[in-house]
Amino acid sequence: MTWTELDWPALDRLRDGFLHGGAAQGPYWQSESALASYDLTYGQRIAWKWDHVVHELRLRDWAPQARTILDWGCGSGIASRRVIEEFGADRFDSLHLWDHEPLAADYAARVAQAEFPQLNMTTVTPGFIHGDEPIGLLIISHVLNELSTEALTALRQVIERSDAVLWVEPGTSDVSRSLGAVRDAVKEHFHVVAPCTHQQSCPVLAEGNERDWCHFFAPPPAEIFANPDWVKFGQRAGIDLRSLPYSFLALDRRPLSTDAGLARILGRTHDFKPYVRFLNCDATGLEFVTLSKRNNKAFAKELTRTKRPLIYRWKRVEGVITDGVAHGVD
């Protein structure tokens, strides 16, 4: 698939489904040209989100132990391919692919096999999905707004069979809060690797925090803004290429080494002339923080400009944040 071969009618239909949950009423994947067009465009934007998630997991000193992956609701398979590429194909032996549309699973297997010929590729059956066979690393990507209550319950059963789970979704309020609810529902059986810096119930879901949600922003590759194909795609699709909001969840059954005192900034920092303001999440709950530029101009600038995950250990003076050290930085 090249930029001149894009199946725009298929992309338009897919985008309408993304925005309105249309897949709940019917399949997205009606042709290989739709899958290939998606993989080149929207799929790449999802891949950049996965890159940012994997970067954070490395900062947390986490990597998958399981050598088998199940990509649930795989679509074109972009999520599992990115995970394999970013963590290294030598970590894995096999990739299992599942989608309600066999056309998608077959496409994803073929593309992944070409990219990682050393791995064993299989498209799994409904019998496996509804069975009880243990699952290694479970990958889920951009499906939550399409799932009925019954489908989400079935997915929960798949999660409970898994050793570890990596799940990335759009960064909208509704989807993010729904993902937080799943987190709290399954955390009894897992350790929460990320995005949380604690194992308590999600504070976003606490009474009084209804306007808040757990989301982040991935930086797209700088070169796309000088690429005429991407520029034309953004204009034609009506999307802002600069904005890649996402929410995510990483779970592992293995015990985690605790790092008490870490905090996470949700969303973006907000830059005002005299101060920077942000929503801080840690084991004590949510807190809106105002950091004076007068007292620490360099640190305030870092908070508003860095592209790394916003995970910090704060320095406080009389309860007020005055400085911080980014996690993973000596």
Query: What radius of gyration, in Å, describes the C-alpha atoms of the chain?
Result: 20
How far apart are the C-alpha atoms of 72 and 99, rounded to whole Å?
A: 6
- The closest alpha carbon to 280, from 296, 294, 291, 293, belongs to 291
Which helix (DSSP H) or strand (DSSP E) does residue 316 occupy?
strand 311-317
Residue-wise pLDDT tens digits, 287-300: 999 999 998 999 99
Classify burial at 114, counting beta carbons within 10 Å of its beta carbon; exposed 0-12, middle 13-18, buried 19 or more.
Answer: exposed
The 3-class secondary structure across 231-287, one letter per residue, is HHHHHHHCCCCCCCEEEEEEEECCCCCCCCCEEEEEEEEEECCCEEEEEEEECCEEE
How far apart are the C-alpha atoms of 160 and 310, rounded to whole Å?
A: 30
Could you give all domains of the chain from N- to C-terminal order, each with its CATH number?
3-252 (3.40.50.150), 262-326 (2.40.50)
Is it true that the peptide bond before 102 is cis, omega within 30 degrees of 0?
no
How far apart are the C-alpha atoms of 204 and 197, rounded to whole Å?
A: 14
How far apart are the C-alpha atoms of 239 and 249, rounded to whole Å?
A: 25
pLDDT for 56 beyond 70? yes
CA distances from 99 to 44, 76, 119, 213 (A): 19, 9, 19, 29
Here the tokens at position 216 are: 């982040």
Which helix (DSSP H) or strand (DSSP E) does residue 45 occupy?
helix 42-59
More confident residue, 328 or 244: 244
Q: What percent of the chain has pLDDT over 90?
A: 86
Q: Which residue has the tokens 């897949």?
A: 23
For residue 303, the model assigns a pLDDT of: 94
For residue 21, the model assigns a pLDDT of: 58
Q: Which of the four pLDDT bands, split at 50, 70 and 90, describes residue 330? A: very low
Cβ neighbours for 316, distance < 8 A, ≥ 6 positions apart: 322
Strand partners, 277: 270, 290
For residue 259, the model assigns a pLDDT of: 72
pLDDT for 41 beyond 60? yes
Average pLDDT value for residue range 68-89: 97
Average pLDDT value for residue range 36-53: 97
pTM, two decimal places:
0.95
For residue 256, the model assigns a pLDDT of: 80
Mean pLDDT of the chain: 93
Lowest mean pLDDT among 23-32, 53-62, 218-227: 23-32
User: How many other C-beta atoms are found inside a 10 Å radius of the C-beta of residue 188?
Assistant: 6
For residue 329, the model assigns a pLDDT of: 62
More confident residue, 94 or 29: 94
For residue 257, the model assigns a pLDDT of: 75
Average pLDDT value for residue range 104-118: 98
Q: Which residue has the tokens 């290989």?
A: 32
How far apart are the C-alpha atoms of 245 and 172, rounded to whole Å?
A: 8
pLDDT for 219 beyond 60? yes
Classify burial at 19, counting beta carbons within 10 Å of its beta carbon; exposed 0-12, middle 13-18, buried 19 or more.
Answer: exposed
Strand partners, 311: 264
How far apart are the C-alpha atoms of 73 and 167, rounded to whole Å?
A: 11
How far apart are the C-alpha atoms of 166 and 201, rounded to whole Å?
A: 19
Q: Which residue has the tokens 């690393």?
A: 137
Count Cβ neighbours within 10 Å for each residue of 73-105 and write b for 16 or more, e otherwise. bbbbbbbbbbbbebbeeeebeebbbbbebeebb
Residue-wise pLDDT tens digits, 133-167: 999 999 999 999 889 999 999 999 999 999 999 99
